[in-house]
Amino acid sequence: MTEWVESGGGPLIAVPEAVLPFWTGADGDEPSSDYDRACAVDGHVGLVPVGDTRALVLGDEPASTAFLPEYGTFVRWCAADSEEELLAQVPAALDAAVWAPEVEWRVPGAVVLFDAAWPGDGSERTDHVRVELEPGRYGVRAAHVPAGPETWLGLVHLRRLVN
């Protein structure tokens, strides 16, 4: 069964598990909250500092999102009549995607995907999914793909970089 993460209206964020307590979400004493920084990301993806590493912001629109480990890809449900229809289009969409420029993301291990408005230490009380990643560097690229007359999906592909 595919686990989907929903947002209350803002961006979703993948925070390395090791630094979850440092993500304050919409709370905090600073004039600009972590959530504000996530909302400031322009485009499909971006990186924001958290602790001694960075978190991946899934920007653009607050679409329901799942991680498909067999493709190393976050899939964003933009438009489809059913989950089955959307998931069936993923292989062809990956082949047809016109990717935005890639960003490099270094991760210390597993990440947790959740609504950026939540504090990291409260993420287990909301929609979230844990994504097992090997520590290291990843190339992250994103695309918005029309996969049929009424099917659109967003893709955020993670590619392990060597060295």
CB 40 within 8 A of CB 96: no
What is the value of pTM for the model shown? 0.92
Q: Residue 157 and residue 154: Cα distance in Å, rounded?
A: 10
Dihedral of the CA atoms 52, 58, 64, 66 (nearest 10)? Answer: -60
Both tokens assigned to 20:
């979850």
Please give the single-letter amino acid code of residue 9.
G
- pLDDT 10s digits, 65-111: 999 999 999 999 888 888 898 899 999 999 999 999 999 999 999 99
Question: Of 61 and 136, which is predicted with more confidence?
Answer: 136
Q: What are the tokens at 122?
A: 């409260």
> What pLDDT, on the 0 to 100 scale, is given for residue 30?
67
Strand order in the sheet with 128-131: 45-50, 53-58, 12-16, 111-115, 128-131
pLDDT, residue 29, reads 65
Taking the domains of the chain in order of start, what are their residue ranges? Answer: 12-160
**What is the mean predicted confidence (pLDDT) over 126-133?**
90
Per-residue pLDDT band at 112 (split at 50, 70, 90) = very high
The residue among 121, 7, 21, 23 whose CA lies nearest residue 74 is: 7
User: What H or E segment, with its residue span, contains residue 91?
Assistant: helix 90-96
